[in-house]
Amino acid sequence: MNLSPMIHQLGLSLTVNQLWVILLFRIFLVLGFLLSAWKWGDWENQEKYYPTILFTMTVDLSVSFLVYRHSLWNYPPDALVKTQTVAEFINCFFILTATTFTYLSKFPAGNRLYQIAYMVLWISIYSGLEWIDSQVIKGIYYTNGWSWSSTALFDCIMFSILRLHYLKPFWAWIITFLITAFILVVFNFASAEMK
């Protein structure tokens, strides 16, 4: 398949080698998060985490649907994955589900300082990987006012809400709806841009 028209349409200038680097980085992310879930996930009690995993998937797919015509971030094609939708599905069904499971499985009990440090660790991992992906690999780029800083702030919110949903799902949904409304206003979404 000739990717030149697709890459040109996105305003990118990626070489065939860069497409392979993007693919390899995506494979590294998927395998890394799946292996971490396999190694550190609390498989004996997996049913405890299932509602929050579904919450994560529902929110991610809903956001993908909402921002369909007014993207805040985009995934360029790589040597194998040719569409934004497939990249979003990989993110939702593999990376985010493994993240949610592993994150909640090892969340420290009791000591608030350890809990904050644990959240900061995960925020740093996610923000660091996205910085590498956006600045070095060029496997994600931002549009319509979104930036890596927006992502770092979003990661802080996301990991807090994952824990909140695990403990108090109702409040996590309320806060998620409020944050979504805030993002839609701040990043200038119009109802005409929604699918």
Q: Number of C-alpha atoms within 13 angstroms, CB side, residue 28? A: 12
Helix 97-105 and helix 46-66: axis angle, to 10°? Answer: 140
Task: Categorize the per-residue pLDDT at 195 as very low, low, confident or very high, splitting at 50, 70 and 90.
Answer: low
Task: Categorize the per-residue pLDDT at 5 as very low, low, confident or very high, splitting at 50, 70 and 90.
Answer: very low
Is the separation of the CB atoms in 100 and 161 below 8 Å?
no
Q: Does a structural domain hold residue 123?
A: yes
Would you state the structure tokens that stand for residue 10, as one six-digit string?
A: 């996105």
Q: Does a structural domain hold residue 4?
A: no
- pLDDT one-digit tens code per residue, 37-47: 999 999 999 99
Q: Does a structural domain hold residue 158?
A: yes
Distance CA 137, CA 12 (A): 13
- pLDDT one-digit tens code per residue, 65-124: 888 888 899 998 888 888 888 999 999 999 999 999 999 999 999 899 999 999 999 999
Name the pTM for this structure: 0.88
Q: Answer yes or no: is pLDDT of 126 > 80.
A: yes
Would you state the structure tokens that stand for residue 23, as one six-digit string?
A: 């693919």
Q: How far, rounded to the nearest angstrom, does the alpha carbon of residue 10 sit from its chain's CA centroid?
A: 21
Q: Does a structural domain hold residue 63?
A: yes
Domain that holds residue 183: 17-193
- Per the prediction, the chain carries an average pLDDT of 90
Q: Answer yes or no: is pLDDT of 159 > 90.
A: yes
Q: Does a structural domain hold residue 12?
A: no
- Indicate the number of domains in the chain: 1
Q: Does a structural domain hold residue 5?
A: no
